[in-house]
Amino acid sequence: MADSSLSESRGGQPSGSLWRTLLAEALSAPPSTEMSMRPRPMPPLGTQIVGRTAEGRPIVLNPDGSFSTERSTTMQFDDGFMNFPTMFGGREYPPDDAANIMESNRWIDPETGRRAVRYPTLEEALLAAGRRSSGIR
């Protein structure tokens, strides 16, 4: 499975043109290439939970003073692509471990109750992830 880590909620999200550039690069890469879609490095995740989002996710204070509520990944499966979180309980998990958590919960996020959506193409999944990322507050 290839994975492309995409988003977290913190100040300043990628512009639409940046997402289009990243998407174009991802779509032109050979299918077997593992791609990291992070437009900038993520800060190390902190350990202090300072609140909860309206959806119920922990708000984590990072060592650099930023906050994280969600980090996510996009993975390819036999029948399409899925975006799902890699942070649970204020802790970040490797994509395969996060997939196991989601699968054991029937692809329903255990913190928010949101069902992961399957997309037929990588393009659709990345566009949805970009919309989700820009909508997190």
Which pLDDT band, with edges at 50, 70 and 90, does 30 fall under?
very low
Q: Would you say residue 110 lies in a domain?
A: yes
Residue 48 lies in a domain: no
Asked whether residue 66 is assigned to any structural domain, the reply reads no
**What CA–CA distance (Å, rounded) separates 42 from 15?**
17
Query: Under a CB-based contact definition with an 8 Å cutoff, are residues 43 and 63 in contact?
Result: yes
Residue 33 has what DSSP assignment? -
Domain count for the chain, please give it: 1
> Domain limits at 93?
3-38+71-135
* Tokens (6 digits) for 31: 């299918």
Domain membership of residue 28 (yes or no) is yes
Taking the C-alpha atoms of residue 137 and residue 135, their distance in angstroms, rounded to an integer, is: 6
pLDDT digits (tens, 9 = 90+) for 111-122: 999 999 999 999
7-17 mean pLDDT:
40
- pLDDT, greater one: 52 or 130: 52
CB 83 within 8 A of CB 6: yes
Helices of type H across the chain: 16-28, 95-104, 122-135
In a domain, 65, yes or no: no
pLDDT in tens, 61-101: 999 999 998 888 899 988 899 999 999 999 999 999 999 99
* Tokens representing residue 72 in the block: 């996510």
**38 pLDDT more than 70:** no
Q: 3-class SS at 12?
A: coil
- 45 is a domain residue: no
* CA–CA–CA angle 111, 10, 63 (5° rounding): 90
Residue 7 has pLDDT above 80, yes or no: no
